Structure 1
Amino acid sequence: MATGTEPHPPSSAGAQGVRDRSRATIAAGHLRTDRWWLAPAGTAAGLLAFVVYSTWRAFANADYYHAPYVSPFYSPCLAQNCKPMHAGPNWEIFGPWWGLSPALLILIFPLGFRLTCYYYRKAYYRGFWASPPACAVPEPHKKYTGETRFPLILQNVHRYFFYAALVVAGILTYDTVLSFRNEKYEWGHMGLGTLVFLLNITLIWAYTLSCHSCRHIVGGRLKHFSKHPVRYRLWGWVSKLNGRHMLLAWASLVSVALADFYVYLLASGAFDDPRFF
């Protein structure tokens, strides 16, 4: 009696993927009955929304500074066409950047870090490339080469983007410290924007330190943890963060967009920054 799971007959030679002759003969592409497509669809929608927003803000070249806040998309401002700022680093080491937005000079580093991040690889591989779209759901591609060929082989530069991300996080920390000033650059003040910046930098550091590369740098290449108690303790802390890497990736993505949007609202005159003291 046929069970419906016999191997494919020889006539299916040359087939690939789930139709390979070594696989069970099942008419359906998969046997999942749940709404497995919701997760990749939600991931794609979230990432697409951030791409659209960040692209708009990066090319806007306006409304990115309101004393004492500077948008994280534009800090540090490295072009000579940057608006005069006193709230953060203003290193005019490049020319006028041909009239383009100075955000394009700095966003390449945090975006490069996130695009090559292990979680974001999974997110956009599943959400946009369906590789695979979900567990137990086959991908539509006939051939799989992994990250061994161009352009995906460039994912291996993630560890180097991690060092750049540390520098960016340090600069955003400096901007957060300067947010404890008022519009006259006097210390001892706190506004709603200060809390927004504090939340953002906390999540930025948590996401950066939860990176797999950071975990390897802290505790990798050690044969005996007992001989390195300090690194072992740090590795334990980073490992706990690493277990929440997905959550921190999304939270920090939302917080950095929120910080930029808050500065945009202030700079465009939508409202004044509420001051607590």
Structure 2
Amino acid sequence: MTSTATRPRGARARAAIAARTLRTDRWWFPPLITVVLLSAWLAYGTVRIFMHKWYWVAEYHYLTPFYSPCITDRCVPEASHFGQFLPGWWIIPDAALTLPLLLLFRLTCYYYRKAYYRSFWLSPPACAVPDGHQSYSGETRFPLLGQNAHRYFFYIAVLISLINTWDAVLAFHSPEGFGFGLGNLILVGNVTMLWAYTISCHSCRHIVGGRLKHFSKHPVRYKAWTGVSWLNVRHMQLAWITLGTLVVTDFYIMALAAGWFSDLRFIN
């Protein structure tokens, strides 16, 4: 605030407003919804990860992404693309090779940072609303210093998306030969959305079109950059959509593996 001693001549002093904010809309609603939905998703995911069952449907080669690839010695061999080199202790997730890295990719994502900064940390909860903390240090302290590693987690996320794609392809080849059912549609739909979310990442956009001075001299990269930019505008929507498709895919495969109902088959 400009003091009386340094205030330009003729300028008025700022109004002394006692209210926390002058906003009269429901500015608190989006952060609240974010807290509820993210907490519900984390609760579901945590329970499923440590259930250690109902993740593989041998009849159709369906594998839930929450357990891909399965690398503990209690895993079904067909679900272990890279071997079983971890002990089957309860505290170790069966997909311990991929889950922590995917979590770091999402935690450092530009959209998710905005989401949990505003909702869980209230930093700030909305525009024109004061920060929930007395001081502000940005991302200059541990553990937020690791946020800039997002570009490296992107490369790992691409590799994991390739694994998920391989799982979806394998699901078309059951022990009885080629087959096609509702589970295949769900797996393909999920991996398609995962690819869309991954390549809509801001880091991907920079990799595709960054450091170019003349787009006209690089028509292929410009075309790719245009496509990634179109997805990048929808990065927030894709972030939420993929959380939904992951839960739907996992729940459907869990239900089949548990015998709650049968897969709707179209071929074989």
What TM-score, normalized to structure 2?
A: 0.91
Partner of 2:64: 71
Choose from 82, 102, 109 the match for 2:75: 82
Partner of 2:8: none
Partner of 1:197: 187
Instruction: Give the superposition deviation at 1:9.
Output: 8.8
1:103 aligns with 2:95: yes
Alignment CA distance shift 1:89-1:159 (3 Å):
same
SS in 2 for 1:145: coil
Instruction: Give the superposition deviation at 1:80.
Output: 2.3
Partner of 2:109: 117
Partner of 1:169: 161
Letter in 2 for 1:276: F
Choose from 124, 131, 138 the match for 1:139: 131
Letter in 2 for 1:215: R
1:275 aligns with 2:268: no
Partner of 2:39: 48
1:128 aligns with 2:120: yes
Choose from 49, 64, 78 the match for 1:58: 49
Q: Is the 8 A contact 2:71 2:96 kept in 1?
A: no
RMSD: 1.9
Letter in 1 for 2:264: P
Instruction: State the identity as a percent.
Output: 55
Higher relative contact order by CA 8 Å / sep ≥ 6: 1 or 2?
A: 2
Instruction: Give the superposition deviation at 1:103.
Output: 2.6
Aligned length: 257
What TM-score, normalized to structure 1?
A: 0.88
Choose from 238, 248, 257 the match for 2:238: 248
Unaligned runs of 5+ in 2: 6-12
Partner of 2:251: 261
Q: Is the 8 A contact 1:59 1:103 kept in 2?
A: no
Q: How many Å separate the matches in 2 of 1:60 and 1:9?
A: 65
Unaligned runs of 5+ in 1: 1-5, 11-21
Task: Please list the CA deviations of residues 170-193 of structure 1 after superposition, one character each: whole Å capped at 9, or x if unmatched.
Answer: 0111111112234x2511x21110
Partner of 1:18: none
Task: Please list the CA deviations of residues 84-109 of structure 1 after superposition, one character each: whole Å capped at 9, or x if unmatched.
Answer: 32xx5532252324343313332111
Letter in 1 for 2:248: L
Task: Please list the CA deviations of residues 134-177 of structure 1 after superposition, one character each: whole Å capped at 9, or x if unmatched.
Answer: 11111121111111110111111111110110011001111111
SS in 2 for 1:30: coil
